[in-house]
Structure formats: C-alpha cells, structure tokens
Amino acid sequence: MIDRDFLLLDGDCGLCHRLATFIDKRPANGVNIGYRPILSEDAQQIIAKLPKKQQDADSVYLIRNGKSYIRSAAGIRCLLYMRWYYKMWFPLLWLIPFPLRDLGYRIIATYRHKFFKRPTECLFRVD
C-alpha cells in the first residue's frame, strides 16, 4: 500500500461513492490511486499513523506521495488525479481562502446524506 496514493472515504456515503467513481472513470495517464472506506482495517492502519489532529478529523483523507490531506485540501487535490481538463481547475480552486474552502466542505459534509442516497453496499475497490 505504501507505493501508491489512497483516497479514504466514508463507505456509507453516496457522495463519496460518486466522487470515487467519478475520479476512477477519468484518470490521467499513469495514475495509481486506491480507494478505501475509512472504517476498513487497512484505512484505519493508515489513519493511526497520521498526526493526532488528523486522526480525529472525521473527514475524507487523501494520502498523496506519502503526505496526508484532509477536508477541502484532500478534495481539491483529487483533481490532480484526473485528465488535464479537470486538473486545470486545481489552481483556481486553490485561490479560494482555506477557511472558506473548509467551511464549504463542512457544510456539504453535514448535509451529504440528505441529498445523496446511501449505497446498499460499499463499492470501493480493494486492490
């Protein structure tokens, strides 16, 4: 698992499933990213190695090149795994001040189950 990047998502969230599926169908050349539900054993092992503040984040996690990102920083960096016409949005979204980005993330995270149907089973690949 160390040689690749991972996106750790809520396995019980319709939005998270849609995000993983969206990224997985539009990868840039040479992308090597895995998806794991946060409550899976291997994801919990990864999270246990993160700084305490990040362990308690209850958020989406992106492990990219050995570095961890959470909340909006993880979400925006997901664009870097996609084809150029998605990737080009990264610098523009990064211009949004961090507190505003994370506020938007937290609002979406709070209401995601109201707008996105929970999946009947976790569809994240384990490879």
Nearest to 37 by CA among 114, 127, 112, 124: 124
Q: Is residue 12 part of a domain?
A: yes
122-20-4 Cα angle (round to 5): 100
- Residues 77-93 have pLDDT tens digits of 999 999 999 999 999 99
Q: Is residue 120 part of a domain?
A: no
pLDDT reading at 25 higher than 70: yes
Residue 85 is predicted with a pLDDT of 94
| Count of structural domains within the chain | 1
Residue 8's DSSP bridge partners are 36, 61
Q: Is residue 101 part of a domain?
A: yes
Residue 8 is predicted with a pLDDT of 94
Do the Cβ atoms of 60 and 75 come closer than 8 Å? Answer: yes
The pLDDT of 59-87, averaged and rounded, is 94
Range(s) of the domain holding residue 97: 5-115
Q: Is residue 36 part of a domain?
A: yes
pLDDT reading at 62 higher than 80: yes
Q: Is residue 123 part of a domain?
A: no
Q: Is residue 11 part of a domain?
A: yes
Residue 84 is predicted with a pLDDT of 94
